[in-house]
Structure 1
Amino acid sequence: MQDQTVVIVGGASGLGLTTAKLMVERGAAKIGLIDRNEQLLASSAEALRAQGAEVATSVADISCAETAHRGFDEIVSKLGRVHALVNSAAIYPRRPILEITDEEWDLENAINVKGTYHMMVAAVRHMRSFMNSPEVTGRIVNVTSVDAFKAHPQNAHYAATKAAVVSLTKSFAQECAADGILVNSVAPAGFATDRAKELGFLPELAKASALGRAAEPVEMAEWIVMMASSRNTYATGENVVISGGYIYV
């Protein structure tokens, strides 16, 4: 990640922030954070600056194309050329399959699918302007989930959106290959975030995994960093499942 500029959507907390911190450790010089939580954005930006990174933030509603693109452009205006985009923003409202409302479906799709799409479009338009550069133009990494590949009756709408993101990843990879933009996704099983601990499913996940434990966020961030870095020169349209042997696809 040496001297790279990265935009992380959903970067104010959770896996997004863990990834940002790891990228700075690996040499990323500039980090752009896009999130809807202004207070968390401010504190997370300060933490990254303390590590030595130049940081820009944008409060944006990614479910709307206009505001999503404006948020990305705001980061570009402050940091310049963006080398990589990480889409880590998502909502995870557990609900039994027969109780999901239209409003919940719409919100889940608006953030997890449309939001991811809008940010990818913004990034591709920006990265294409550098397509005559000698190096790979850019990289996009979408955070999906193992739930895209398994039954999830307690959260079917979430699982469906993550399957949609896997499909979007493949389509963008084909569309953007000629531009030198590599597009991949990372599909974690549950890992030990504060939210996961609160929901209480980690012990069950640990029992079901081959390694007998849930992952730490940084173990997932390692794979995101790899896919977003200049070390990735060939993988595109790929989905990497990281589950500790919880699921094999």
Structure 2
Amino acid sequence: MAIADVTQVALSDLISLKGRSAVVTGGAQGLGKAMARRLAEAGASVLIGDLKAEQAQAAAAELSAAYGGKVVAAALDVTDSASIAAAADLAARELGGLDIWVNNAGLYPNVPLIEMTDDAWDRVMAVNLRGVFASCREAARRMIEAGKGGVLINVVSTAGFSGVAPGVSAYVASKHGVRGLVRQLAIELAPHDIRVLGVAPTFCETEGNTAALAQLPDRVRQEIAATLTSRLGRVGVPDDIARVVLFAASDMALFMTGSTLLADAGEVA
């Protein structure tokens, strides 16, 4: 198998996801919902998976009404491999296949190192790292069985490139792990025409990020806010990241795998 040469394909067709199906974990709100929105707008059928099942149902109904495509919801716990497998099977059954899987679900707790318990550390790893691994495994199994290739997109964060702030050691460690997983899975899955990419957002204004920021000391919060608004003139919004995910999912990025795309307004530069 080999990636197609799309030199003669029209730009509008390269960005289109018509006829493809996608799963977005943690898709009921924030970054995940914005990603699901852009994928649906591009023509994909979408499954929104989230612990908040009712909120996922509401998001699915909203996007289906807005874009006219098939958008379904599923209760999804990424710490439970059986739950992930059930969501993958549902997508294959209800959407006619599985072409794109976006691992967006994540935790961002703020706990100083000396106060962090083993259970708190393990919880972050279970969601942010093991959940990504298990989701990639289940999605890849079905993509390989179907024989059509696919795309796995893992949300990494700029925390996958450097330290961030006091109290987020588990988060930073988990995101470095996800970035490494992107590189390794790209090697393993390339023979099956499955591309694996990371997308690393900087801080964006979402429900979860706003709550996480509120946990930080005033001085740290003010420093972060000043840094984030000094580069491109504003703080990021979810659609800034969703557009990068759409690019990664589409044939515009067909010759890319193993990379983590920075959507960071220059934070890591």
Tell me the TM-score normalized by structure 1.
0.92
2:130 equivalent to 1:109: no
Rounded Cα–Cα distance in structure 2 between residues aligned with 1:214 and 1:100: 30
**Residue 23 (structure 1) aligned with residue 23 (structure 2):** no
SS in 1 for 2:251: coil
Q: Is the 8 A contact 2:156 2:201 kept in 1?
A: yes
RMSD after superposition: 1.6
- Unpaired segments of 5 or more residues in structure 2? 1-16, 215-219
Corresponding residue of 1:6: 22
The whole-number CA distance in structure 2 between the counterparts of 1:208 and 1:166 is 24
Give the Cα separation in 2 of the matches to 1:92 and 1:197: 11
Q: How does 1:89-128 map to 2 (within 5 A)?
A: 89-128=105-144
Match of 1:56 in 2: 72
Q: 1:98-154 CA distances to partner (integer Å, 9 max, x unpaired)?
A: 2111111111011111111111011101111233x4xxx101100011112222332
Structure 2 residue identity aligned to 1:163: H
Say how many residue pairs are matched.
243
CA distance, structure 2, for counterparts of residue 139 and residue 203 of structure 1: 38
Q: 1:227 aligns with which of 219, 228, 248?
A: 248
2: CA distance, partners of 1:15 / 1:229: 18
Matches within 5 A, 1:200-215: 200=214, 204-209=223-228, 210-215=231-236
2:209 to 188, 193, 196: 196
Q: Name the structure 1 match of 2:194.
A: 181
3-state SS, counterpart of residue 140 of structure 1: strand
- Give the corresponding residue for 2:50: 35
Identity, in percent, stands at 29
**Deviation of 1:202 (Å):** 7.0
Indicate conservation of the 8 Å contact 1:202/1:214, yes or no: no
**Amino acid in the other structure paired with 2:161:** F
Larger Rg: 2
1:158 to 171, 174, 183: 171
Write the distance in 2 (CA, Å) between the matches of 1:129 and 1:195.
36
CA–CA distance in structure 2, aligned partners of residues 202 and 23 of structure 1: 32
Contact 1:5 1:31 in 2 (8 A): yes
- State the partner residue of 2:266: 245
Is this contact kept in 2: 1:205–1:214, CA < 8 A?
no
- Conserved in 1, the CA contact under 8 Å of 2:57 and 2:74? no
Contact 1:21 1:48 in 2 (8 A): yes
Corresponding residue SS for 1:85? strand
1:216 counterpart = 2:241: no
Aligned-partner Cα distance in 1 for 2:264–2:125 = 24
Residue 62 of structure 2 corresponds to residue 47 of structure 1? yes
